[in-house]
Each structure stands twice: as C-alpha cells, then as structure tokens.
Amino acid sequence: MPMIMNYKCSNCDFELPSGWGGYTYVVDAKGKRIVCPHPVELSIIEKVLGPDVSREERQRKTGFNSHCICMKCLKQFDADFNIMESGEPKDPRRCPKCKSVNVLTENELVGKTCPKCKKGTIQELSTGCKS
Ligand SMILES: [Zn+2]
Ligand SMILES: [Zn+2]
C-alpha cells in the first residue's frame, strides 16, 4: 500500500493534490479515461474491460495519470507521460492552457523551487496515513 503524501511549498500556501502523484485509469469503449481509485482499481478495470480481456489489451487500455503542473501559468491538470512502444509519450508534455512545455509532474516537482512564490521548495510530506 502506498503512503499518502502531501505536496506543498515550504514558504507559501501553494499545494498539489495529496496522494502518491496520480492515479490509475482505464480507457472505456468511447476512449474516455475512467479514474480507478485505490484500492478498488482492479474491480473497476474488470468492470470497464470485461472479465475476458487479454493481458495485452488490458495493458494497452490502462495507464497512470500523473498530477501535473505548468510552471508558467500554474495550471494543474492530469496527464500520462509514460512512453509507449512507439517511443512517444501517451500525452504530449504541454500545458493545455498556455501551451508551455515547461510542465512537471507532481513527483518531478518535489525538491524544485515553488512556481508560485519562487522562494520556497516543494516538499513531499507523509500524512502518516496509508490508503
Ligand atoms: Zn511557494
Ligand atoms: Zn500553462
């Protein structure tokens, strides 16, 4: 079980969604990403894809969305930057709002300078809770 973490600036009130950086998703028949919250992700995947799905198809239709932040305009969004077999990331690393490519995932932001106040550092703090 992963620990639930809080992500916040050491200086200002800036914070990111707590958790462990993102969530598992499954793509339904319409191509929509369905959030699979822990610890019931497996039952949701089975419900969406059906019980007879092959391992390959299941791998292709599931993924991990990371909480991302644009370092330029502070827009927060979810995206999957995992590299596919083609060598391309599943989602382009680009802000949906200002189109900046200066986008970091929550995990990458840990230890970096806060994009809001530019003084503090983003810290990863354990809440002490397990999911
Ligand atoms: Zn800050
Ligand atoms: Zn942006």
pLDDT of residue 16: 95
Ligand 1 geometric centre to CA of 31 (Å): 36
- Domain ranges in the chain are 3-130
Ligand nearest to the CA of 95: 2
User: Are the C-beta atoms of residues 14 and 8 closer than 8 Å to each other?
Assistant: yes
The residue assigned the tokens 């391309």 is 88
Task: Give the pLDDT of residue 26.
Answer: 97
Distance of CA 91 to the CA centre of its chain: 12
Q: Are 97 and 83 in contact (CB under 8 A)?
A: no
In this predicted model, what pLDDT tens digit does every residue of 73-107 receive, in sequence order?
A: 999 999 999 998 889 999 999 999 999 999 999 99
pTM assigned to the model: 0.87
Distance CA 100, CA 122 (A): 20
What separation in Å is there between the alpha carbon of 125 and the centre of ligand 1? Answer: 15
The pLDDT of residue 22 is 94
Which residues, given as ranges, of the chain have pLDDT below 50? Answer: none
Which are the contacts of 129, defined by CB distance < 8 A and separation ≥ 6? Answer: 3, 4
Ligand 2: centre distance to CA 69 (Å): 8
Q: Ligand 2 centroid to 115 CA: how many Å?
A: 11
